Amino acid sequence: FEYLKKLTPDDIRQFARAFFAGVKLQVLVQGNLEPETARQVMRTVMQNFNGSSIADPKSIEMRAKQIPVGDHYLRIRNFRETDVNTVTTNFYQAGPVTPELNACLELLISLLEEPLFDILRTKEQLGYDVSTSLRDNYGILGFSITVHSQENKFNYNHIDQRIELFNRHFIDILRNMSGEDFGLVKMSLMHRKLVVDTELKNEASRNWGEITTEEYIFNRNKLELERIQQLTKEDVSALYEQLVLNSTSRRKLCVQVVGNPEKPTTDSPPAISGDGGEVRHDFQPIYLPHDEAVVGELGPRRYIENIEQFSSTLMLYPVTKIDFGKQE
């Protein structure tokens, strides 16, 4: 926002001229087109393209960072001063992708979805949206639980506590689940992998995803299905305990954008009018105060008070791609 305010038309023109000074092009042509016609189209494009290759290909490599073992909390105030909405995302990092880890996480998410929604949304009514999802950050896997709540109904600390209470409850659900019920969830996930693309745009989107990630595994669903088929309930339980319940291996990042339970006071930061309420115009994060004495269920918490500083201390993973040729 601050940079946008300072941009001039000359800045945009200069950027446009320099943009193609070093680029990497990847192209997908899909549909009712002869291969030679597609190649001719690209030759025409390249003839009119005045760009050059990237001098240092490593400069555009996308890499993720490792969350340290333990519980890490980033809590900042909602930019909208009169907005009561709070968003909580608890992320549990697993590590570099493998076919087996990816399959196990997919099955875990399938098993989590129904009880998570039933308990936190339907029964406890913590928020208007409760969800879980697999996270793939440049080849580093994990999963997250997200709750959209209202601060004037449930405090952000309470939301995090209820998520963690659910985590301890879910392992019992998983252990006590019958083989038949586990098999039904597993079979449902496998069936989703067998669904064929019914429209060209769906097939193109799937193939383009393989290109943008530079993994080029165009039969991914078939390979993933084979790994899912081999999974047992014990595999999923062991992974869940490792990621969520074991204090020596759990890597948790709790990110909370916290709404305001009351109207802003007279000494609130300056604001400008905008859709959905007043908005602070400086867009500098306000980190919420915390109690140093607070200890989480699995040990002490670390509170992030400067995002850039925290990020600078983290280990950077190497470039990571999935390899279906390797067996664990």
pLDDT per residue over 41-52, tens digit each? Answer: 988 888 877 777
Cα distances from 2 to residues 5, 47, 174, 221, in angstroms, run: 5, 38, 48, 43
Using pLDDT thresholds of 50, 70 and 90, give the confidence band for residue 57.
Answer: confident
φ, ψ for residue 54, nearest 5 deg? -75, 130
Q: What percent of the chain has pLDDT over 70?
A: 90
Mean pLDDT computed over every residue of the chain: 90
| pLDDT tens, position by position, 101-122 | 999 999 999 999 999 999 999 9
CATH architecture of 70-261+271-312: 2-Layer Sandwich (3.30)
Round to the nearest angstrom and report the end-to-end CA distance of the chain: 46
Cα distances from 20 to residues 52, 151, 197, 199, in angstroms, run: 7, 47, 35, 33
Indicate if the pLDDT at residue 10 is higher than 50: yes
| pLDDT tens, position by position, 155-183 | 999 999 999 999 999 999 999 999 999 99
- Looking at residue 269, its pLDDT comes to 47
Indicate if the pLDDT at residue 202 is higher than 50: yes
Indicate if the pLDDT at residue 67 is higher than 50: yes
Domain boundaries, the chain: 21-60, 70-261+271-312
Tell me which of 227-241, 278-292, 304-318 is least confident.
278-292
| Cα–Cα dist 239/225, whole Å | 19
- Looking at residue 102, its pLDDT comes to 98
Q: How many CB atoms lie within 10 A of CB 310?
A: 18
- Looking at residue 300, its pLDDT comes to 75
Using pLDDT thresholds of 50, 70 and 90, give the confidence band for residue 272.
Answer: very low
| Cα–Cα dist 249/242, whole Å | 6
Going by C-alpha positions, the residue among 118, 245, 236, 241 that lies closest to residue 185 is: 236
- Looking at residue 302, its pLDDT comes to 92
DSSP helix/strand/coil, 177: coil
- Looking at residue 270, its pLDDT comes to 45
Average confidence (pLDDT) over 227-255:
97
Tell me which of 177-191, 214-228, 267-281, 308-322 is least confident.
267-281
Residue 181 parent element (H or E): helix 179-194
Going by C-alpha positions, the residue among 258, 256, 244, 231 that lies closest to residue 143 is: 244
Using pLDDT thresholds of 50, 70 and 90, give the confidence band for residue 60.
Answer: confident
Using pLDDT thresholds of 50, 70 and 90, give the confidence band for residue 198.
Answer: very high
Using pLDDT thresholds of 50, 70 and 90, give the confidence band for residue 201.
Answer: very high
Indicate if the pLDDT at residue 327 is higher than 70: no
Average confidence (pLDDT) over 237-258:
97
Average confidence (pLDDT) over 192-213:
95
Angle between helices 99-116 and 156-176 (to 10 degrees): 110
